[in-house]
Amino acid sequence: MKIGIMGTGYVGLVHGAVLSSYGFPVTCMDVDAAKIERLADGISPIYEPGLDELLASGLRDGTLSFTTNAKQAIQSSDVIFIAVGTPAKEDGSANLSYVQEVVQSIGKYANDYKVVVCKSTMPVGTNRGIARYLDGVLKARNAPFRIDVASNPEFLRQGKAVGDSRHPSRIVIGTENEEAKLRLQSLYDVHIRQDVPFLYTNPETAEMIKYASNSFLAVKISFVNELALLSEKVGANIQDIAAGMGLDDRISLHFLQAGPGYGGSCFPKDTQALIDVGRKNGEELYVVRAAIAANEKQKLKMVHKINDVLSFNGTLKGKTIAVWGLSFKPETDDIRSAPSYDIISGLLGRGAAVKAYCPQGMKQAERLWTDLNGSVAYCENEADCAQNADAIVLMTEWEQFRENSWDTIVKSMRGNAFFDLRNMFAGHAHVRRLFDYYPIGSNELAYALEEAQ
């Protein structure tokens, strides 16, 4: 079975590389010629642990190829995955223009029976709309074959995408066509043998499962972040609260870590898109809407927290702040909708000078945050970033940040404030002793009493 992947972003590239490692001939197509040229040389445009090795293996074995030729990719494939972006429009609705371009190409170039699989996150009803469109195009062409459409949403975690693709938590297949179902079962046979749970349903349900999953996790994050803000005011400790909640197996500890807010390529746009679907169908989703509002509030509260400690007469002018971490989570270079952008913008707006270091996110920041270029000084490492700074703001919990020589770091600084927006060092007595330490979701007086005891 030959596979075509339309789109070489985080989803398409990882999915294609993993399928090629199972022995399937995979052709990945993208309109970006420069990106395809680099991929053909084994150079990934994104940072994802384990992906470089998969690319090298697939290219070496001849199971993985790259092209800008849509006709070639479509006509040489039995199963075609649509894995292009569906970014949010200004009104929150999903921008399906890239999907439409791919579907039009499939309708134009398809030369025999195909199964088109929607891997991109698409609003409810999109799969059925694609099927109707392709049926109409094939009838107009008097084509002697049909094209079946299935929804197969992805559930990859950035930073762990290769592992999640090889060992998925579940596989959801939304189709009402038996032949399409059987072809996807054959494609995912390795996961059937792994006893991965499979859910077969209709396209609309599959589309909703993806949005529901991401929106629920966003709600959970916003909920714990609001509790963290309250905990700081009443003297409670959010980490202990989360631990106590997580011991209830109906809740679990997952996604109960307080922080500066959620970000990335999925949660922000998918919550907005679900709100839009609800609005168009006459159902206001109040809980999801509240999660979005709470997330925006959380980022602003982080700026206020830093400002309240460091400012003089309400301004941060003359203060230098070292930001550690730009990506929305560790083990990825993705800075899309990262809380670091809003927080850095807020600090700059209050007059602060900002230095920043991220193990993987700086290239993307320089490329995409053009409005901040010239205002942020990007550094070679976290120690360089902290030098002569009045405060460190830990934005992303990269594991390498644990390995610093803290005595050297604090001696190189002008001030000694440490805003740990991930509570990465909440249990690190030496760090808390060296710095004026400000975690998320706890009153520092409580830490001082604990230390004394």
Active site residues: 266
How far is 70 from 104, CA to CA, in rounded Å? 11
Nearest to 18 by CA among 58, 73, 61, 67: 58
User: CA-to-CA distance for 26 and 18, rounded, in angstroms?
Assistant: 10
Q: Residue 364 has which token pair?
A: 């993307």
Q: Is 320 annotated as a binding residue?
A: no
Q: SS3 for 149?
A: strand
Is 332 marked within a binding site? no
| DSSP H helical ranges for 141-253 | 161-166, 178-187, 189-193, 203-234, 238-246
In the chain, what is the greatest distance between 2 CA atoms, to the nearest angstrom? 82
Do residues 314 and 323 touch, judged by C-beta distance below 8 A?
no
The verdict on whether residue 257 carries a ligand-binding annotation is yes
Residue with token string 């991930």: 422
**DSSP one-letter string for 232-295:** HHHT-BHHHHHHHHHTSTTT-STT----S---SSSHHHHHHHHHHHHHHTT---HHHHHHHHHH
Q: Is 121 annotated as a binding residue?
A: yes
- Each residue of 218-248: b (16+ CB within 10 Å) or e? bbbbbbbbbbbbebbeeebbbbebbeebeee
Cα–Cα distance measured from residue 162 to residue 41, given in angstroms and rounded to the nearest whole number: 20
282: left (phi over 0), alpha (psi -120 to 50) or beta: left
Find out whether 35 is annotated in a ligand binding site: yes
What are phi and psi for residue 79, nearest 5 degrees?
-125, 130
Residue reference for tokens 């099927």: 131
259 is in an annotated binding site: yes
d(CA 91, CA 294): 18
Binding site annotation covers 249? no
User: Six-digit token pair at 127?
Assistant: 């799969």
| Residue 155 labeled ligand binder | no
Check the annotation: does 336 bind a ligand. Answer: yes
Q: What 8-state DSSP symbol labels residue 142?
A: T
On whether 255 is known to bind a ligand per the annotation, the reply is yes
Nearest to 52 by CA among 62, 40, 41, 44: 44
Contacts of 142 (CB under 8 A, 6+ apart): none
Q: CB–CB of 261/220 below 8 Å? A: no
Asked if residue 63 belongs to a known ligand binding site, the reply is: no
Residue in the block written with tokens 């990934």 = 44
Rg (CA), the chain: 24
Secondary structure element (H or E) that encloses residue 19, with its range: helix 10-21
Q: Is 435 annotated as a binding residue?
A: no
Q: Is 269 annotated as a binding residue?
A: yes
Helix and strand tally (H, E) in the chain?
19, 14
Cβ distance 321 to 288 under 8 Å? Answer: no
Annotated binding-site ranges for NAD(+): 30, 35, 86, 121, 269, 336
Binding residues: 30, 35, 86, 121, 210, 255-259, 263, 269, 329, 336
Residue ranges for the binding site for substrate?
210, 255-259, 263, 329
